[in-house]
């Protein structure tokens, strides 16, 4: 099992992998994001705008403050690290059920092109 500190590093890696400012794929894309790491009971929240993921916070998963996020991921700590390192494709992980992704279809498609 991965630690909470390793998950924080993975979130930072994911943020770095996203399309950056000026990348047309991310232009005008502004969404609230949450990632529930089920095996650690931790919820990460942030804001994704123009390819930049910031305002990242973490708290106890039982708080359920991520329920209102426009893009919500539910995954294990190991899958979060694999996704951040590029070893796991978001699309295939979602299709296989390893990662649960709750978002509008256009947001899912946009996110898939950015990660």
**DSSP bridge pairs for 71:** 33
pLDDT at 89: 86
Q: How far apart are CA 115 and CA 108, in angstroms?
A: 11
For 4-114, give the CATH class. Answer: alpha beta
pLDDT at 72: 92
pTM above 0.95, yes or no: no
What are the boundaries of each domain within the chain? 4-114
pLDDT at 19: 60
Which tokens hold the place of 19?
A: 């399309």
pLDDT at 110: 78
- pLDDT beneath 50: ranges in the chain: none
Token pair 């089920």 is at which residue? 38
pLDDT at 12: 83
């Amino acid at each position: 099992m991965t630690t909470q500190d390793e998950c924080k590093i993975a979130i930072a890696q994911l943020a770095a992998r996203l399309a950056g400012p000026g990348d047309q794929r991310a232009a005008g894309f502004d969404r609230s994001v949450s990632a529930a790491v089920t095996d650690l009971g931790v919820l990460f929240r942030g804001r994704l705008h123009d390819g930049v993921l910031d305002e990242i916070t973490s708290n106890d998963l039982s708080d359920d403050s991520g329920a209102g996020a426009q893009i919500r991921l539910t995954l294990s700590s190991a899958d979060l690290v694999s996704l951040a390192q590029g070893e796991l494709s978001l699309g295939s992980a979602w299709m296989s059920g390893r990662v649960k992704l709750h978002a509008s279809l256009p947001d899912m498609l946009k996110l898939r092109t950015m990660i």
